[in-house]
Amino acid sequence: MRRKDLQLSIYAIAAKEIFEWNPVRTFFKLLQDNQRQETSRDAKQLDEALRVVQETAADIRAGNFPRSQVISAAIVLTSRFARLLKGR
């Protein structure tokens, strides 16, 4: 799975786990021109995204990640955000 595909997958996983929703499609809007970009994720893609997140989190905990991997910080922040939402 390409790293740039992770963000919407993480949101879909969080929606499923926290709110018990079953997201069929995900989308984002480009702020520059307000265009809507839509995509979908199947169970296999979400499982792969979760695997990447778990492996990256394990690497972060072990201190094994290059500083250039911005995605690692995004994963930690997304996890904290999901926990905050769950507490509501």
pLDDT in tens, 53-79: 888 888 878 887 666 565 666 777 777
- Res 1 pLDDT > 60: no
Q: Which domain holds residue 47?
A: 3-86
User: Structurally, how many domains does the chain consist of?
Assistant: 1
Percent of the chain past pLDDT 70, that is, above it, reads: 73
In which band, very low, low, confident or very high, does the pLDDT at 34 lie, cut at 50, 70 and 90? Answer: confident
Nearest to 51 by CA among 10, 16, 8, 4: 10
- Taking the C-alpha atoms of residue 57 and residue 78, their distance in angstroms, rounded to an integer, is 12
